[in-house]
Amino acid sequence: MEKRAHNFFAGPAALPYEVLKKAQEELLDFKGMGVSVMEMSHRDKAFIAVAAEAEADLKKLLGLGDDYAVLFQGGGATHQFVMLPMNSLHAGDEADYIVSGNWAERAYEEGTIQGKANLVATSKTLAKPFSELPVVKQENMSPKAKYLHFCSNNTIYGTQFFENNYPKALPGVGLVCDMSSGFMSHTFDATKFDMIYAGAQKNIGPAGVTVIVLKKEWAQKVFTKKLPKSFDYNYQIKKESMFNTPPCFNIYITGLVFKWMLEMGGIPAMEKRNKIKADTIYGMIDKYPDFYRGYVTNKAHRSWMNVTFNLPTEALEEEFVKAAKAKNMLGLKGYRDLGGIRASIYNSTSPESVQFLADFMEEFKKSH
Amino acid sequence: MEKRAHNFFAGPAALPYEVLKKAQEELLDFKGMGVSVMEMSHRDKAFIAVAAEAEADLKKLLGLGDDYAVLFQGGGATHQFVMLPMNSLHAGDEADYIVSGNWAERAYEEGTIQGKANLVATSKTLAKPFSELPVVKQENMSPKAKYLHFCSNNTIYGTQFFENNYPKALPGVGLVCDMSSGFMSHTFDATKFDMIYAGAQKNIGPAGVTVIVLKKEWAQKVFTKKLPKSFDYNYQIKKESMFNTPPCFNIYITGLVFKWMLEMGGIPAMEKRNKIKADTIYGMIDKYPDFYRGYVTNKAHRSWMNVTFNLPTEALEEEFVKAAKAKNMLGLKGYRDLGGIRASIYNSTSPESVQFLADFMEEFKKSH
């Protein structure tokens, strides 16, 4: 077996061993065709089946029916920050945004460029910016908004919305969520959403493909701006993501991750696994709160995906990262603007890797 | 060794065996790191080196220096059809377009949406649409145009511009080329161009990444529109394609193809190889012109990348494709709007595969 590291990268991030192994096995010969999945037309029935299976498996995982469309596109979630208001906001149209972190703020900024974006709530202004989720009040929302946008998990600072505190839109206002780094990490009712999008490279696949889930009826109603075909969501829905050549290999790997998730027991199994992993690391932070200083101030807002903390000094943090790397643990350095330590423990990161990190934290504490 | 087919897909298309083998070997463990190249941060020095090498190798192949920037983006060439006029055409601004095929026409259409696009020349109006290259006259060009756009190879109908007949822009007008399906298939002076873009999935890599080569000085001068960051070429240049997460694995594979090309002897070696392959297939068409009826009427305009022809009846064409498939030759069915046969023989397709097809054509002719 290959040497495999304990992977705590924030994204692109760990993929399941089984997925990589399968991709490796059939890399030069996909299903006996004698070509790689990278080497065949996206119009060939073999690839059409790959994309259709990925879509069907995603819908099965989310419990969605024919009233929802799934798109697989390039460009990343950042691209969707622009596409969403571009498709929906005519001059003077409003949209509501909740700002719980850097990426949520970027989405909000693009909204302000394209139309009238309202800042419903932000936790940027806290003494420790984004150290907890913002307080969302419906009285700050606009009934005229085309949609309410929020970001489910804050990759950088380490807060996360769960189903019990997902923001609720006003009646008739679409609910839109950037789930890039929290997608399918816990059970939730996807039918409550009009649009969900997620860059694959955190929880569900490699970089280079973004999954967009759209309630068709809502998309027809709200996406009414005249746009170039490449930018038009409804045109993409009509063409089933095949208007132009899609990122084929990226879709294929994402589809393999969906199959892995289904085999593991679907989203409920991911939730169970992620809860155990989060408890393991936060348990260590709570055991030595003076040494491992969690960035997030409200424990109920702690992300299960990105665990952020500081050590007493920057020198100790550097030593921590270096010593961890020597023990084959990668990606623990915090985001460049924030510093400190960040352990990203998405769906694919194994409980064994997380336990290995927790044991290392115990040992590192004792020796310092 | 794996069973490998003779791959004539029009794109996504064949990749070099050596590239796939290398990717397979290190799929679970990139350079001893214990993670896949799909599983590491795009900010990690290991991936930054992958992207930097791909860029340096591309520049080496093209003989370009520091006055050119290279971008690796998602979204495909179709996306660039929109991005180019969006970045450059203010209200009333002009751009010149040459329409030598469907994709060139799509690019032209996007130009007409964003600004004033002039149709300099088209071969669509021929009795057999796009059966030769259009006659390009400088007198039909506008000296006020921001750029002259053409598409170097017509994937669908099978015509190709070579360096001896590349269109020349008027003084002070930028020369822009969509080289998706002809990129680096023959030697040419890249410094004559202000912008070259190419979807990777024909000649240089897998679907999901587009290479954009920009003369920096020209980009600064012409791309002056205020745009969202995701859409702004100059912002992307400033951020070295790393404004957001790029399609990492796709860049990695494309970089391996560049290394393979360098090892093979660079673009001159590709030209030699492609000339031999084209001569092999066209030789068979010219040997049996009543049976294999080449679509392209002017032999000097024949594409080295996509060889298009008809058989006397549709029934024979179907039989040809089926019999070829039985002999492990894939992707020979013509484009859905055109029908007939299309053999795509990009850089990576081996001369042996092409000879195998020619032998089959000989045999099929004799038995029908």
DSSP string, B308-338: EEE-SSHHHHHHHHHHHHHTTEE--BPPTTT
Question: Are the beta carbons of B207 and A249 separated by less than 8 Å?
Answer: yes
What is the distance between the alpha carbons of residues A189 and A184, in angstroms, rounded to a whole number?
11
Domains of chain A: 18-263 (3.40.640.10), 266-366 (3.90.1150.10)
Query: A119 in contact with B at a CB cutoff of 8 Å?
Result: no
State the catalytic residues of A: 103, 178, 202
Cis peptide before B12 (omega within 30 of 0): yes
What is the distance between the alpha carbons of residues B27 and B29, in angstroms, rounded to a whole number?
6
A86-90, A113-117, A153-157: range with lowest mean pLDDT = A113-117
Selecting from B27, B201, B228 the residue whose C-beta is nearest the C-beta of A27 gives B27
CB A335, CB A358: distance < 8 Å: no
Query: A349 in contact with B at a CB cutoff of 8 Å?
Result: no
Tokens of A106: 């970027």
Residues of A in contact with B41 (CB under 8 A): 9-12, 331
Question: Are the beta carbons of B14 and A7 separated by less than 8 Å?
Answer: no
What is the distance between the alpha carbons of residues A124 and B190, in angstroms, rounded to a whole number?
48
Q: What is the interface pTM, i.e. ipTM, of the complex?
A: 0.97
The pLDDT of residue A243 is 77
Selecting from A14, A21, A44 the residue whose C-beta is nearest the C-beta of B39 gives A14
Residues 206-245 of B with CB under 8 A from A: 206-209, 228-231, 243-245
A118 sits in which H/E element: strand A116-122
What is the distance between the alpha carbons of residues B181 and A100, in angstroms, rounded to a whole number?
44
Picking from B55, B54, B29, B47, the residue whose alpha carbon sits closest to that of residue B253 is B54
Question: Are the beta carbons of B33 and A330 separated by less than 8 Å?
Answer: yes
Pairing of strands B341-344, B329-330: unpaired
CB neighbours of A239 closer than 8 A, spacing ≥ 6?
none
Residue A286 pLDDT exceeds 70: yes
Taking CA B277 as the corner, what is the angle to CA B276 and CA B278, rounded to the nearest 5 degrees? Answer: 95
What is the distance between the alpha carbons of residues B252 and B23, in angstroms, rounded to a whole number?
9
The CA-based dihedral angle spanning residues A124, A129, A135, A138, taken in that order and rounded to the nearest 10 degrees: 10
Residue A284 pLDDT exceeds 70: yes
pLDDT tens per residue, range A121-154: 999 999 999 999 999 999 999 999 999 999 999 9
* DSSP category for residue A134: -
CB atoms within 10 A of CB A299: 11
What is the distance between the alpha carbons of residues B347 and B349, in angstroms, rounded to a whole number?
6
Q: How far is A30 from chain B (nearest CA, A)?
A: 10
The pLDDT of residue A1 is 58
pLDDT band, residue A307 (cuts 50/70/90): very high
Nearest chain B Cα to A75, which residue? B74
Tokens of B13: 């298309």
pLDDT tens per residue, range A248-258: 999 999 999 99
Residues 34-93 of A with CB under 8 A from B: 34-36, 38-44, 73-79, 81-82
Residues of B in contact with A245 (CB under 8 A): 11-12, 76, 199, 201, 207
pLDDT tens per residue, range B203-217: 999 999 999 999 999
Q: How far is A362 from chain B (nearest CA, A)?
A: 24
This prediction has a pTM of 0.97
**Which one is catalytic: B96, B178, B194, B232?**
B178
Question: Are the beta carbons of A247 and B208 separated by less than 8 Å?
Answer: yes
Residue type, position B340, single letter? G
pLDDT band, residue B240 (cuts 50/70/90): confident
pLDDT band, residue B237 (cuts 50/70/90): very high
pLDDT band, residue B75 (cuts 50/70/90): confident
Selecting from B7, B110, B201 the residue whose C-beta is nearest the C-beta of A245 gives B201
CB burial class (10 A; 0-12, 13-18, 19+) of residue B32?
A: exposed
The percent of residues in chain B predicted with pLDDT above 70, rounded, is 99
Question: Are the beta carbons of B207 and A17 separated by less than 8 Å?
Answer: no
Query: B276 in contact with A at a CB cutoff of 8 Å?
Result: no
Nearest chain A Cα to B15, which residue? A39
The pLDDT of residue B356 is 98
DSSP secondary structure of A11-53? SS----HHHHHHHHHTSS-GGGSSS-GGGS-TTSHHHHHHHHH
Told to judge if B202 belongs to the known catalytic residues of this protein, a careful annotator would answer yes
Told to judge if B178 belongs to the known catalytic residues of this protein, a careful annotator would answer yes
Question: Are the beta carbons of B206 and A248 separated by less than 8 Å?
Answer: yes
The pLDDT of residue B1 is 57
Chain A interface test: which of B226, B244, B353 (most A C-beta within 10 Å): B244
Told to judge if B260 belongs to the known catalytic residues of this protein, a careful annotator would answer no
Runs of H (alpha helix) within chain B: 17-25, 45-62, 76-88, 102-114, 216-222, 233-238, 248-264, 266-287, 314-326, 351-366
Picking from B293, B306, B290, the residue whose alpha carbon sits closest to that of residue B100 is B306
**Which one is catalytic: B57, B59, B194, B202?**
B202
Question: Are the beta carbons of B38 and A17 separated by less than 8 Å?
Answer: no
Whats the size of chain B, residue-wise?
Answer: 368
Residues of A in contact with B110 (CB under 8 A): 228
